[in-house]
């Protein structure tokens, strides 16, 4: 009986994890439908509606104990303000890339992100790597350097997406705050700036949100749901699956984005891209193979 329950829980966790990373990977499809709206306005709506949806979810789940669940220290609030700014910047870069037909660059950025997180782990947390993992990180760096050389400029979208999310992850690792509560405070702290900016756009008569255009209004409101839904699914997956499984599932998102960019949106995939992506993919395989092999060694 317990085995059957465990199997059912594992299946639920796998389904939740696949759905979470699937939504993140297919997010460009949603933001393409908002291509007529400036990215800064989209971010403003995403922040505001995320606060409302997250607050509603926490209220339903915790009810009477909601304040005790959300209570944090001033130090934590200050750091969450910083991470809120980082995640808003990450969203802005992502949406700008999607709406300027550079979805492929976002895919590369989120493939590079775990390896950049490794470098920060070495610096901040003094984590250790085996030689093969060091080679893997260097290989990814060579791939990015090759693309820079061939294009004549830094692949700033890919690198900035990877860097902002890697730094965001490091700071969040230092805080003992759950993902739901953390994102609620991040978006709540950033929301006054988002509201002020949208009021500025309204004053300039540049605000796209209007009840006279219900389709756009619904899509902009839906950006909050697009933020909260995969987070809930991710949390459900993490509770039921090993972290190693969730770690592998995370590559579903940039893989789906890659497919969208090349096969759906027809973005050019050159030999230079092939060399860079190949270097990063091989680096990821080597890195996780070495980590898995290391975990099998007798203690």
Range from 56-65, 86-95, 105-114, 150-159 carrying the lowest mean pLDDT: 56-65
Weakest-pLDDT range from 57-71, 93-107, 138-152, 281-295: 281-295
pLDDT at 106: 95
Share of the chain above pLDDT 70, in %: 94
Mean pLDDT along residues 24-34 = 96
- Mean per-residue pLDDT of the chain: 88
pLDDT score of 254 more than 90: yes
Residue 243: its pLDDT value, please? 66
Asked whether the predicted pLDDT for residue 3 surpasses 70, the reply is no
Cα 105 from chain centroid (whole Å)? 14
Mean pLDDT value across residues 45-60: 92
pTM above 0.85, yes or no: yes
For residue 297, the model assigns a pLDDT of: 47
pLDDT by residue (tens digit) across 134-188?
A: 888 888 889 888 888 888 888 999 999 999 999 998 898 888 888 888 899 999 9
Weakest-pLDDT range from 21-35, 142-156, 230-244 = 230-244
Residue 294 has pLDDT above 80, yes or no: no
Residue 147 or residue 299, greater confidence:
147
Question: How many whole angstroms from its chain centre is CA 170?
Answer: 14
Ranges of each domain in the chain: 2-129+154-263
Residue 211 has pLDDT above 90, yes or no: no
Supply the DSSP string of the chain, one letter for each residue.
-HHHHHHHHHHHHHHHHHHHHHHHHHHHHHHHTTTTS-HHHHHHHHHHHHHHHHHHHHHHHHGGGHHHHH---HHHHHHHHHHHHHHHHHHHHHHHHHHTT-HHHHHHHHHHHHHHHHHHHHHHS-----HHHHHHHHHHHHHHHHHHHHHTS--HHHHHHHHHHHHHHHHHHHS---HHHHHHHHHHHHHHHHHHHHHHHHHTT-----TTSHHHHHHHHHHHHHHHHHHHHHHHHHHHS-HHHHHHHTTHHHHHHHHIIIIIS-----HHHHHHHHHHHHHHHHHHHHHHHHHTS--
Q: Which residue has the tokens 């004053």?
A: 203
- What confidence score (pLDDT) does residue 61 get? 80
């Amino acid at each position: 009986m317990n085995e059957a329950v465990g199997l059912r829980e594992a299946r639920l966790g796998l389904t939740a994890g696949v759905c979470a990373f699937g939504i993140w990977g297919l997010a460009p499809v949603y933001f393409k439908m908002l291509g007529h709206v400036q990215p800064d306005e989209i971010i403003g709506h995403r922040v505001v509606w995320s606060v409302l949806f997250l607050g509603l979810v926490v209220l339903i789940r915790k009810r009477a104990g909601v304040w005790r669940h959300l209570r944090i220290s001033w130090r934590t609030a200050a750091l969450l303000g910083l991470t809120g700014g980082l995640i808003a910047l990450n969203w802005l870069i992502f949406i700008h890339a999607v709406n300027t037909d550079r979805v492929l660059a976002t895919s590369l950025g989120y493939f590079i992100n775990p390896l950049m997180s490794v470098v920060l782990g070495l610096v901040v947390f003094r984590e250790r790597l085996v030689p093969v993992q060091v080679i893997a990180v260097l290989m990814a760096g060579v791939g990015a350097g090759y693309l820079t050389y061939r294009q004549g400029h830094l692949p700033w979208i890919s690198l900035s997406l990877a860097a902002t999310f890697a730094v965001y992850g490091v700071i969040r690792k230092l805080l003992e705050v759950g993902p739901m509560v953390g994102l609620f405070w991040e978006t709540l702290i950033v929301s006054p700036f988002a509201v002020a900016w949208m009021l500025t756009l309204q004053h300039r008569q540049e605000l796209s949100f209007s009840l006279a255009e219900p389709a756009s209004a619904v899509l902009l409101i839906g950006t909050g749901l697009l933020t909260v839904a995969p987070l809930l699914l991710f949390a459900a997956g993490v509770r039921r699956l090993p972290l190693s499984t969730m770690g592998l599932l995370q590559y579903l998102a940039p893989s789906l984005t890659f497919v969208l960019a090349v096969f759906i949106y027809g973005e050019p995939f050159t030999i230079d891209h092939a060399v860079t992506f190949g270097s990063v993919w091989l680096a990821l395989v080597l890195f996780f193979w070495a980590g898995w092999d290391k975990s099998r060694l007798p203690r």
